[in-house]
Chains A and B, each alone.
Chain A
Amino acid sequence: MSDTIVVTGIGVICSIGTNAQECFTSLVNEQSGIDSIQYLETVHKDKFKLGEVKRSNAELATMLDLPVSNVHKYSRTALLAMVSANEAFKMAVSVNGEKTTGIVSSTTVGGMDVTEKRFLKETGDNSYLQTHPCGDSSKEIAKYLNSTDYYTTLNTACSSGTNALIHGVRLLNHGIVDRVVVGGVDALTKFTLNGFNSLMILDEDYCKPFDADRKGLNLAEGGGYLVLERKNEVEKYLCQLRGFANANDAYHQTASSPNGDGAFKSMSEALKMSGIKASSIDYINVHGTGTQNNDLSEGVALNRLFGEGKVPSFSSTKSYTGHTLAGAAGIEAVFSVLSIINDVIYPNLNFSRPIEELKLVPNTKLIKNGGVKNVMSNSFGFGGNNSTVIFSK
């Protein structure tokens, strides 16, 4: 990185809270947001648990001071994106004033929540598709924040949010914008619920990341955003962004390689960029979906990189939030920042027995004042996409 990049704002909405403070409280109190289905209309209502944001679209609109009568104009994805991006943006503006701001968001299914309700049901008028494209929610964020100079959207499946961050840093380094809101969002949909169900990687019970008896993931929704700026141009900041990398596993369209090659490469390259020694990483917020394949592959990569028995404290906060797809990397980046500024390491819920091949035990008790300085966060996705980001005090 040519300039030092710092985080000046954070915003998040997910199943454990509608803002950063609420989410942090849930994390330290070990309160999961995964529950029986309340909002999503699906025949699987009694079968699966989801990490739903406990707010209706009308309630989300009210949080944004948007007229409830206009709520049908927005996808749930866009509403979640605006709530969390706005929280991060406001925080940065209140401390460091107004600046030319770019929006780099990400989503995997865009406005699918609207599309799937009306697809095949309405003939003649397909104007509801206006909110379908991935770019729609990013444009809505830009309009809402009155920052339409540059907005874009990444879609690299579940690693999207970190890749949005990487593109955002490039924009800052090349002076294209002076501030950038980066992150990701996804709303729950029948499309993704049935998609992951067809792949048979959903746990009907609470997900158990990194546990020997893990059965799959809990699908969820939410948005998470950071504001990034150049360090020499700000008054105050939350923490530094030290390194990042994106790599491809080049193994399979959906499965991760047994050697965790992609994960190993993204973590190693991010470490290299940060200039931080592997042994100086204090906490890893792992991707840890709770699927057989991901956790094994990610664990193998962790052992390869840090050495068996030397892997730093790690946990998967997906045991609280569920897997929010493109929202995950943004949300977990916010949690990583909160870990640094509050000096805590979150416990991994629902863990009882380590995966035999790995002998890796995640952190299961809240650690306070342990001196958290450097935090790594992983996000991996379909298409073999692997991304890692490192934040420092």
Chain B
Amino acid sequence: MALYIKSSDCISAQATFGSYLPEELINTDASFYNCIKPEYKKYISPKLLRRMSPIIRNGVSCSLSALQNAEIDNPDAIIVGTALGCIKDTTSFLTQLIEDNEALPNPTHFIQSTHNTIAGQLALLLKCSNYNFTFSQMHNSFECALLDAQLLLLDNEAKNVLVGGVDELTETSYELIKDLECYKDAKLGEGGAFFVLSSDESEVVFKGVSIINSSQCDFNDELQKYGLSIDDIDLVVAGDKFEDDPSYSDFHKTFAEKPYLWYKPFVGEFGTVSSIALYLGVKAIEDQSIPACWTKNKAKIEACNNVLIYNNVGGEQSLMLLSIN
């Protein structure tokens, strides 16, 4: 059974809620990238919005936008991936708790600190009583959510699944996580992307996601599982954090001749940033082009039929494959 990406939307430092990708990239002198804020009030009432931390408002509004694009009121499942969850509410609660020596801290921060607040709020806003999952496995949080969505659709338990990844970065959380092994040498960021994955036919075919935890990856082997070879790939979207990122040397060797999109230097590194990579892949197929500023090797994109999206953080790797219908 074929699966399709019926709609998508993204929130990032370069593009938020648009049908096009910018021709020029925004540079920042700040130590990390914050995402461009959409007009939240289009999606969320001001009363609710006031209480929502960035991850909740970004996750919820991006989801609602993706659902609107797909003209779906109520998805059959809501599946969210987040690496660090509601870290702002978590640190607020923790700070209050420690500074006031466990005198009654504000329960709102506690209530909103749990990772499934985004999916839970979506269920509330949509009055959606269906399947509601949240995955949190660092750099594969989004991929695990996507895999679950894929399997749910293949099991015929759903027709339209809202699936996405989102993370937030605040000054406090930046200071806390910037020294983590996996974030060394990377400019950090925040944001995410949401999709309606569907068994209804549309333009972009979602071939699948593979998660590989290993120091190596046989790309030919992995592509074969999807009935594709390296030759069939017209475009790659890769998670290189900077020029000559050693984690990508094998990948680079294999796909150096292909049009090569990268994005982490422009939107920042974070746990669910690969959701933005998938969004870029979807755009490339829909538009059959991508603004040159997003390509690493300036190779010209011709027919864009098969797109490979690759991420590798310390051997925790993922491959996602898209094709044109």
Interface set of A (CB-CB < 8 Å, partner B): 2, 42-44, 108, 110, 115-116, 119-120, 125-127, 129-130, 132-136, 138-139, 142, 148-157, 163, 167, 170-171, 173-174, 190-191, 194-195, 197-199, 246-254, 261-262, 265, 381-385
Query: A149: which B residues are within 8 A, CB to CB?
Result: 213
Residue count of chain B within 8 Å CB distance of chain A: 62
The answer to whether A382 and B120 have CB atoms under 8 Å apart is yes
Can you list the 10 inter-chain pairs with the closest CB atoms, starting with the nearest?
Answer: A383-B120, A195-B110, A198-B107, A155-B115, A134-B136, A135-B137, A248-B123, A170-B151, A383-B116, A248-B132
CA distance A344 to B105 in the complex (A): 43
The answer to whether B102 and A156 have CB atoms under 8 Å apart is no
Query: B131: which A residues are within 8 A, CB to CB?
Result: 246-248
The answer to whether B95 and A253 have CB atoms under 8 Å apart is no
Query: A249: which B residues are within 8 A, CB to CB?
Result: 123, 129
Query: A115: which B residues are within 8 A, CB to CB?
Result: 94
Given contacts A167-B133, A253-B120, A261-B129, contact A382 B102 (CB under 8 A): no
* Chain B, 104-142, CB within 8 A of any chain A CB: 104-107, 110-117, 119-121, 123-124, 126-138, 140-141
* Count of A-B residue pairs with CB < 8 Å: 184
Contact with A along B199-213 (1 / 0, CB 8 A): 000000000000101
Binds A, one of B173-181, B239-247, B253-261, B286-294: B173-181
**A253 touches which of B124, B148, B179, B271 (Cβ 8 Å):** B124
Query: B39: which A residues are within 8 A, CB to CB?
Result: none
Which residue of B95, B154, B211 has the most chain A CB atoms within 10 A of its CB atom? B211
Cβ distance B126 to chain A, nearest Cβ, rounded Å: 8
10 contacts between A and B (CB under 8 A): A120-B94, A133-B136, A135-B83, A139-B137, A171-B151, A250-B123, A253-B117, A382-B117, A383-B132, A385-B116
The answer to whether A194 and B97 have CB atoms under 8 Å apart is yes
Cβ distance A162 to chain B, nearest Cβ, rounded Å: 11
CA distance A43 to B101 in the complex (A): 8
Query: A382: which B residues are within 8 A, CB to CB?
Result: 111, 114, 116-117, 120
CA distance A206 to B78 in the complex (A): 37
Cβ distance A297 to chain B, nearest Cβ, rounded Å: 14
CA distance A323 to B123 in the complex (A): 25
Interface set of B (CB-CB < 8 Å, partner A): 78, 83-85, 91, 93-95, 97-99, 101-102, 104-107, 110-117, 119-121, 123-124, 126-138, 140-141, 144, 148, 151-152, 154-155, 175-181, 211, 213-214, 271
Query: B127: which A residues are within 8 A, CB to CB?
Result: 250
Closest to B181 in A: A130
**A174 touches which of B93, B104, B151 (Cβ 8 Å):** B151
Given contacts A151-B137, A250-B124, A253-B111, contact A190 B213 (CB under 8 A): no
**A170 touches which of B110, B155, B176, B179 (Cβ 8 Å):** B155
